[in-house]
Structure 1
Amino acid sequence: MTKETPEQRLAAAQFALPPAPTPRGNYAPYCAITPGGLQWVSVAGQVSRQDGVPMSGQCRTDDDIAPASRAAEVAMRNALAALQAACGGHLDRVAQIVRLRGFIRAAPEFTRHAAVLDAASAVLRTAFPTQPLPARSALGVSSLPDQTWIEIEIDALVASA
């Protein structure tokens, strides 16, 4: 019996990964260092852009949670695509996602940032069901690239190839 990969679990849940993102500025899509046999990979912020088209919006009321959550799923898939590239194309090398940061474009009165970011955590749970969830920060911001709903960063420990 073959072990199901994170990519297979994501595809089965309709979370197929896009191609790895191309930087839209002077930064790398990820940075990797090797502490003690594992590689620390920090994925640069990935916004809710699907097939190159920004998913734009701003959280103002609870009515915005559903579309922002869908955007959070897309941003997480983009972050996982960058992580997959750092893993040589194989997410099963991920030993642990240790940090998730979500920046939610929100009006000052919006306070349900964590509810939006739960959708990104659900994508991680789908890909890595046996791993503990990472430490997480959900932050409201006034502006993001292309007025997108959300930007996500992840840090992970990856087994050496």
Structure 2
Amino acid sequence: MKSTCFFLFLFFSIQITTSQTPEEKLDELGIELLEVQSPSANFVKWRQVGNLLFLAGDGSELKGKLGRDLSVEEGYQAARQTGVDIISTLKAATGDLSRIKQFVKVRGMVNSTPEFYDQPKVINGFSDLMVEVFGEKGKHARAAVGHCSLPSNIAVEIEVVVELEN
């Protein structure tokens, strides 16, 4: 019995000491955060209400329509890069990514043809990155929907709601 308790203590001690902060995980992945630019229109990049932080939609630099101009893999990479932009905004809004308690809701919008049905595979690029960087805290409720067009012909736009620690 004593050896079992010691083993459990050792296991949980190792788990606690090996956890990484989101910033450490970004470094490990070789991801550099970007400087957040002010919006070019009459809105804000984020708004905090209580412990919830709402981010305005952030879009990919990649342009084109899925199902015509771009492959699912290109869309996946566009969503992943949009994720880097969103993490940059979260860092600017919070000052410390460790303040994020959990991702609550994600709305992924994909510029796609009417015949394109793989919007979830595209938005997986974002979701996979959030789990890589934030672990279980990065898992979220999500919608992945197609749109006949997005601003400036961007391939992907994503909105996020996160809960912050008290």
Q: TM-score, normalised by structure 2?
A: 0.83
Q: Indicate yes or no: 2:54 matched with 1:42.
A: yes
Q: Percent identity?
A: 27
Match of 1:15 in 2: 31
CA distance in 1, matches of 2:138, 2:44: 27
The CA deviation at 1:30 is 0.4
In the TM superposition, what is the alpha-carbon distance from 1:144 to its structure 2 partner? Answer: 1.4
Tell whether 2:116 aligns with 1:110: yes
Distance change (3 Å), C-alpha of 1:84 and 1:132:
closer
* 2:156 is the alignment partner of 1:158: no
Equivalent residue for 1:81, pick from 64, 88, 98: 88
The number of equivalent residue pairs is 150
Q: Higher helix share goes to which structure? A: 2
Q: How far did 1:3 drift?
A: 5.1
Instruction: Quote how far apart the aligned CAs of 1:132 are.
Output: 6.0
1:2 positional shift: 7.8
Query: Which amino acid in 2 is paired with 1:28?
Result: V
Contact 2:59 2:156 (8 Å CA) reproduced: yes
5+ residue gaps, structure 1: 49-53
User: Partner of 1:122: helix, strand, or coil?
Assistant: helix
Two-structure CA RMSD over aligned residues (Å): 1.9
- SS of 1:57's equivalent? coil
Distance 1:2 1:111, change over 3 A: closer
- Match of residue 93 from structure 1: 99
Aligned in 2, Cα 1:97/1:114: closer, same or farther, shift over 3 Å? same
Q: For residues 56 and 161 of structure 2, what CA distance do their matches in structure 1 show?
A: 9
Contact 2:47 2:53 in 1 (8 A): yes
Aligned to 1:67: 74
State the distance in 1 between where 2:153 and 2:84 align: 19
Bigger CA radius of gyration: 2
Gaps of 5+ in 2: 1-16
Contact kept in structure 2, 1:73 and 1:120, CA below 8 Å: yes
2-side partners of 1:32 and 1:98: how far apart?
A: 14
Q: Which amino acid aligns with 1:43?
A: L
